[in-house]
Amino acid sequence: MTEQSMAFRRGDTIPGWLPLMLGIFTAVGPVSTDIYLPALPEMERQLHSAPGSGSITMAAWVIGLAIGQITIGPVSDRFGRRLPLLIGMIGYTIGEIGCALAPTMTIMCICRVFSALMASAGLVIPNACLRDLTEGDEASRLMSRLIVVQGVVPILAPMLGGFALKFVDWRVIFWATAVYGGLCTLMLLTVFPETLPTQERRDMRPLSIIERYIYILRTRSFITNGLVWSFLGFVTFTYLTGAPTLFEERFGMSPFHYGMLFGLFAVCMIGASAINGLVVGKVSTTHMLFSALGISLTGSILFLALAVISAVDLTSGGQLRSFFLWPLIISLVITMAPTGIIGPNSMVGILSEQSERAGSASALAGTMQYLFGAVASALFGLMSPGTAIPFAGFLVFAFCAATVFALLRPRLPSSAP
């Protein structure tokens, strides 16, 4: 089929399968970020690499995503959404095959960088597609479905990877992600529509790209909502870094039970995002955003208070250790679940004034979020925490900062008050 015959325009009825398909594309990045983490020790042994060297592959992946996102945005604004996404999925599939066949850690890192560069299309372009077709409350409803995948998959992926490793070699994980990329490619070739009309595409001169990013960064709606979105990345990476230390080392959870806890958080985030999709339109996006931030901030303060009390108990012998486990879990659920609401509503704000630059704005926001997440992981790693206090403190800081920037955001158009 031609691009014209597969095109959607703003105002067209959006079929229910389109947001689902965009969510599948979006999942490529989070799946590949985390699913292989349980395999790192075995990968290091088979590739005859030093213990701990597998973490370099994660650094390679993050570098590739950061560079790829900032690049793919202007490309999609120039050539449309479908072609860059198709090339990205083909390249991602090739990169994952390379990872599955890699004979050395060096080759593995090279393949991870290439794969991430290509996968960045899946992180950036789906958000831009929704901005091409919708705005306001409708955009928030549809964005909720994408954010569910973006937020939940990083939590579920390590659990799935760890389960798979009980039965198969670590290379099978990369073969599986290659198949995933192949299925995405097939969907793009057969049913996925173009959403950016030819007359709305932008040029790609280097100077114009720089000017575009400067314009975006000077837009109040982008910088305020973008910082809310970025601190959400800070929260996510803090959780991914801090939760294993807290629950496995501090409270002695087995990997299996910790995986079940991952599932609990995933279900809560799905539920919150589903609620957002149901009530947006009846309740304003602004009200939903501040309600979610208020709940998360309250939960994080409660989590911090419990962390301090449990630390005092630890210094006195830890007799009440088991007593604090469930209160800490419940307070962390209260903290993390509303991120399924914060994400879609902040992304709607990010793109609210960027109809002609949606790809570039989505790319810049994605890069900011990963950079904030990387900073959170690095700072947390330097602390070598023996209690939950640093973990909780990071969460309180991030939600306080996100709330401040949410208060500074301009009012959205009337369709999304």
Domain chopping of the chain, boundaries: 1-198, 205-412
Asked if residues 130 and 22 have their Cβ atoms less than 8 Å apart, the reply is: yes
* Helix residue ranges per DSSP H, 280-388: 285-315, 321-336, 339-351, 358-383
Q: CATH topology for 1-198?
A: Growth Hormone; Chain: A; (1.20.1250)
* Assigned token pair, 109: 């890192």
Asked if residues 126 and 23 have their Cβ atoms less than 8 Å apart, the reply is: yes
| Spatial distance between the Cα atoms of 36 and 115, rounded to a whole number of angstroms | 14
When comparing pLDDT for 2 and 354, which is higher?
A: 354
Q: What is the mean pLDDT of residues 195-220?
A: 82
When comparing pLDDT for 305 and 10, which is higher?
A: 305
| Spatial distance between the Cα atoms of 369 and 26, rounded to a whole number of angstroms | 15
Q: What is the mean pLDDT of residues 397-410?
A: 95
Q: What pLDDT is attached to residue 417?
A: 37
Could you identify the residue written with the tokens 């973008």? 226
Q: What is the mean pLDDT of residues 214-235?
A: 92
Residue 146: is its pLDDT beyond 50?
yes
| Spatial distance between the Cα atoms of 54 and 44, rounded to a whole number of angstroms | 6
Task: Kindly report the length of the chain.
Answer: 417
Q: Which of 51-55, 130-134, 175-179, 290-294 has the lowest mean pLDDT?
A: 51-55
Q: What pLDDT is attached to residue 64?
A: 87
Q: What pLDDT is attached to residue 225?
A: 94
Q: What pLDDT is attached to residue 73?
A: 82
Query: 221 pairs with which residues across the strands?
Result: none
For residue 51, count CB atoms less than 10 angstroms from its CB and return exposed for 0-12, middle for 13-18, buried for 19 or more: exposed
DSSP-assigned letters across all residues of 145-201: HHHHHHHHHHHHHHHHHHHHTTTS-HHHHHHHHHHHHHHHHHHHHHTPPB-S-GGG-
Residue 416: is its pLDDT beyond 60?
no
| Spatial distance between the Cα atoms of 106 and 56, rounded to a whole number of angstroms | 9
The b-or-e profile of 271-302 (16+ CB within 10 A means b, else e) is ebbebbbebbeeebbbebbbbbbebbbebbbb
Q: For 283, which DSSP code?
A: B
- What is the CATH architecture assignment of 205-412? Up-down Bundle (1.20)
When comparing pLDDT for 338 and 258, which is higher?
A: 338
* Assigned token pair, 28: 């490529």
The greatest distance separating any two alpha carbons of the chain, rounded to the nearest whole angstrom, comes to 71
Q: What pLDDT is attached to residue 186?
A: 96
| Spatial distance between the Cα atoms of 165 and 260, rounded to a whole number of angstroms | 17
Asked if residues 394 and 321 have their Cβ atoms less than 8 Å apart, the reply is: no
Q: What is the mean pLDDT of residues 390-413?
A: 91
Q: What pLDDT is attached to residue 103?
A: 94
Average pLDDT of the chain is 82
- Phi, psi angles (nearest 5°) of residue 170: -60, -30
Top mean pLDDT of 16-20, 72-76, 117-121, 350-354 is at 117-121
Same fold, 1-198 and 205-412: yes
Residue 222 pLDDT grade (very low, low, confident, very high; cuts 50, 70, 90): very high
Q: Model pTM? A: 0.75
Q: Which of 8-12, 336-340, 368-372, 373-377 has the lowest mean pLDDT?
A: 8-12
Helix, strand, coil shares of the chain, percent, nearest 5, are: 80, 0, 20
* Residues ≥6 apart with Cβ < 8 Å to 24: 149, 184, 187
Task: Tell me the percentage of the chain whose pLDDT exceeds 70.
Answer: 86
Nearest Cα residue to 331 out of 290, 291, 298: 298
